[in-house]
């Protein structure tokens, strides 16, 4: 129950920070995505059990608030959790490295989905311009924010699920 | 010889001895002796004085430092309070400036009714150029209402909830605005882009478009009221095989630092999509 509560509050905080601060401080035209980073760090943690559920809820919430086509943020965030779950088993000895790899792959995946969805909906977006102006700067910003977000979420998870000490 | 008695002789000897010593001292012969005796004395005196002063400082200084620290803390507290007040007043002054400017725009365009809104956020996706304002359906804001600032056109209301609305900016890649080039007196269309640049298309080839030409809304299509300032032409491009000219536009509104906007309440956008042949 506590994990659900913490996840909901963290998502709300991340959303508010995203729309009020992070989205207003772009690098070229790209911005960091705190919600993506939160889901990546949350899903990478082995003790967390509810990452799929909250990726679904968060994706729906962002879909309703964003101007993107309805299904796109949902697919994007579910993809983030999927990538994180996939890599968690493979790079389990170096969680920070896993966080960087998940951030890189999931940002590329999400932005790819966004561009395709916008193109399907008639927006005249060229791939070259999208890569130069938005995708690469966004990847860079997400990689910069990945480490503090990972540390924050790890600390949060450590408080919610304390390690069991063997007698 | 009564004068040379024992007592007088003793006095004379003492006087001569003192005179001799004075003579020796004045002539510098006794300096080594003085040094030998006075230097240790001066050294001791100096040592003693330093210790005394140290002891006195030790006993008196802490009280002064404590007082100074207290005064310093009080002054720092006052400085912090004044700085906070200054920041608040600067913010209020900035808000007042914006309000006056918006009011000025309202006065110069009295045919419209406005609702002032504050920008509270931006779209999450960096591919889209939208802002979120703090006025929604509770304040009478509806889908399709034009949004302006004191400078010019901002965009149109794209989605509304009770207490907030989402505004699509004219810089968004899916935004199209019918515009009028004032100097050339020709109509064109402005397009947004992924990078937030605005460009003009559909300018007839025989029209003379020059940098600095003013771009206004034409009102064609019924999405925006006419004669709202959009920007100025930066450069025009005429390709050999193209049917129309294109131009780059510098928007008059600074979309990066937009804080407050006006929603035009008494303008109803006309949906002409059923009339457009597919």
Chain A contacts of B127, Cβ < 8 Å? Answer: 68, 111, 114-115, 118, 123, 125, 130, 134
| Interface with chain A: mutation pick from B122, B125, B195, highest number of A CBs within 10 Å | B125
ipTM of the complex: 0.89
Rounded Cα–Cα distance for residues B230 and A135 (Å): 29
Cα separation of A99 and A94, whole Å? 9
Q: Is B56 helix (H, G, I), strand (E, B) or coil?
A: helix
What's the Cα-to-Cα distance from B250 to each of B141, B174, B213, B232, B253, rounded to whole Å?
28, 18, 10, 5, 9
CA atoms within 13 A on the CB side of A161: 14
Going by pLDDT thresholds of 50, 70 and 90, the confidence category of residue B240 is confident
CA torsion, ordered A149, A140, B175, B252, to nearest 10 deg: 100
> Contact B168/A30, CB-based, under 8 Å?
no
In eight-state DSSP terms, residue A24 is G
Contact between A30 and B173 using a beta-carbon 8 Å cutoff: no
The tens digit of pLDDT for each residue in B82-134 reads: 998 998 888 888 878 777 777 777 777 778 888 989 899 889 899 999 999 99
The answer to whether residue A55 scores a pLDDT higher than 50 is: yes
Q: What pairs with residue B248 in β-bridges?
A: B199, B235
- Asked if B122's CB is within 8 angstroms of A19's CB, the reply is yes
**What's the whole-number mean pLDDT along residues B13-36?**
82
Shortest distance between the Cα of B101 and any Cα of chain A, in A, equals 23
Q: What average pLDDT does range B169-187 have in this prediction?
A: 91
| Mean pLDDT, chain B, integer | 85
Burial environment of residue B144 by CB neighbours within 10 A (0 to 12, 13 to 18, 19 or more): middle
* pLDDT tens, residue by residue, A37-48: 999 999 998 888
- The residue of B119, B121, B124 whose CB has the most chain A CBs within 10 angstroms, and thus the best one to mutate to test that interface, is B124
| DSSP single-letter state for residue A30 | B
Nearest to A129 among B128, B166, B195 (CB): B195
Question: Would you say residue B62 has pLDDT above 70?
Answer: no
Q: State how far the Cα of B142 lies from the Cα of B268, in Å rounded to an integer.
A: 9
Q: Interior CA angle at A123 toward B278 and B162, to 5°?
A: 95
Query: A61-65, A137-141, B32-36, B239-243: which has the minimum mean pLDDT?
Result: B32-36
d(CA B29, CA B264): 108
**pLDDT value at position A167?**
47
Scanning every residue of chain B, which has its alpha carbon at the shortest distance from the alpha carbon of A21?
A: B121
Helices A136-160 and A34-44: angle between axes, nearest 10 degrees: 50
Nearest to A13 by CA among A107, A153, A112: A153
Which residues on chain B are in Cβ contact (under 8 Å) with A115? 127
Q: Is residue A164 pLDDT above 60, yes or no?
A: no
Angle between helical axes of A34-44 and A2-20 (0-180°, round to 10)? 150
Specify whether the CB–CB gap between A44 and A152 falls below 8 A: no
The pLDDT value recorded for residue B127 is: 92
């Amino acid at each position: 129950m506590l994990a659900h509560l913490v996840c909901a509050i963290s998502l709300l905080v991340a959303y508010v920070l995203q729309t009020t601060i992070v989205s207003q401080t772009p690098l070229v035209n790209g911005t960091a995505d705190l919600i993506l980073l939160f889901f990546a760090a949350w899903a990478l943690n082995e003790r967390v059990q509810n990452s799929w559920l909250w990726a679904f809820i968060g994706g729906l919430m962002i879909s309703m608030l964003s101007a993107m086509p309805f299904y796109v943020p949902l697919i994007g965030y579910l993809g983030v959790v999927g990538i994180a779950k996939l890599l968690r088993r493979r790079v389990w000895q170096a969680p920070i490295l896993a966080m960087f790899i998940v951030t890189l792959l999931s940002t590329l995946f999400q932005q790819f989905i966004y561009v395709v969805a916008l193109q399907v909906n008639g927006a005249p977006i060229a791939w070259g311009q999208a890569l130069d102006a938005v995708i690469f700067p966004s990847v860079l910003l997400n990689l910069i924010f990945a480490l503090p977000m990972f540390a924050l979420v790890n600390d949060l998870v450590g408080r919610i699920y304390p390690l069991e000490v063997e007698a | 010889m009564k004068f040379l008695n024992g007592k007088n002789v003793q006095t004379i000897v003492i006087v001569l001895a003192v005179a001799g010593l004075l003579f020796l001292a004045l002539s510098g012969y006794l300096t080594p002796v003085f040094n030998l005796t006075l230097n240790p004395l001066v050294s001791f005196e100096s040592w003693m004085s330093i210790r005394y002063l140290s002891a006195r400082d030790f006993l008196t200084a802490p009280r002064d430092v404590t007082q100074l620290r207290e005064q310093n803390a009080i002054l720092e507290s006052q400085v912090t309070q004044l700085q906070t007040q200054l920041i608040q007043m600067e913010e209020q002054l900035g808000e007042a400036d914006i309000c006056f400017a918006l009011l000025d725009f309202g006065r110069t365009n009295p045919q419209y009714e406005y609702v002032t809104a504050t920008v509270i956020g931006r779209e999450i996706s960096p591919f889209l150029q939208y802002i979120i304002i703090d006025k929604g359906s509770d304040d009478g804001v509806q889908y399709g209402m034009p949004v302006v600032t004191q400078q010019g056109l901002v965009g149109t209301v794209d989605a509304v909830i009770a207490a907030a609305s989402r505004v699509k900016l004219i810089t968004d890649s899916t935004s199209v605005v019918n515009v009028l080039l004032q100097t050339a007196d020709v109509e064109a269309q402005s397009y947004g882009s992924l990078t937030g640049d605005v460009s003009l298309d559909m300018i007839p080839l025989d029209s003379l478009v020059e940098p600095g030409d003013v771009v206004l809304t034409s009102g064609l299509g019924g999405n925006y009221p006419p004669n709202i300032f959009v920007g100025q032409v930066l450069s025009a491009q005429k390709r050999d095989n193209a049917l129309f000219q294109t131009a780059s536009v510098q928007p008059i509104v600074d979309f990066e630092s937009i804080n407050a906007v006006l929603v035009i309440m008494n303008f109803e956008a006309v949906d002409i999509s059923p009339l457009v042949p597919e």
